[in-house]
Amino acid sequence: MSNETTEANNTTVTTEATAQPEATAQPEATAQPEATKQPEATKQPETSGPRDTIYIGKKPLMAYVTSTLIQLSNIPCVSIKARGMSIGRAVDVSQIISRKTENAGYSIGNIKIGSEALESQDGRMRNVSTIEIEVKRN
């Protein structure tokens, strides 16, 4: 047992010895990213605040339902936005929230439909359909 403890002590001593040069190398490495982190810190206050819009994409359906319910627990109204092929998924998210959680008191508010002109990869302008569904907490 005493041999094992001395071996363990030796390994801890060697790891401590190797940890010290790494510790001196880390502050130098972190000094450079701190300079790059400062512009990021200025970006964070611009995006901070309540996130009242959920953008629907290609993730699983329940991921959007969960994030919408989390936002509805913090703020009274959330907008679900989608365009193109994701419009059906946005409708599904709003219907799941309103039908499956009727007892919780969520309802669908205003629904806005429209289109946006986007430039396609070949350089032509295309119209893409959009939808915005408002889900409210009663």
Give the single-character DSSP code of 84. G
pLDDT digits (tens, 9 = 90+) for 74-132: 999 999 999 999 999 999 999 999 998 878 889 999 999 999 999 999 999 999 999 99
Is residue 131 exposed (0-12), middle (13-18) or buried (19+ Cβ within 10 Å)? buried
pLDDT digits (tens, 9 = 90+) for 13-38: 333 333 344 444 444 444 444 444 44
Residue, of 27 and 54, whose pLDDT is higher: 54
Is residue 11 exposed (0-12), middle (13-18) or buried (19+ Cβ within 10 Å)? exposed
Predicted TM-score (pTM) above 0.75: no
Residue, of 61 and 18, whose pLDDT is higher: 61
**Residue-range domain boundaries for the chain:** 1-48, 53-137
CATH of domain 53-137: 3.30.110.20
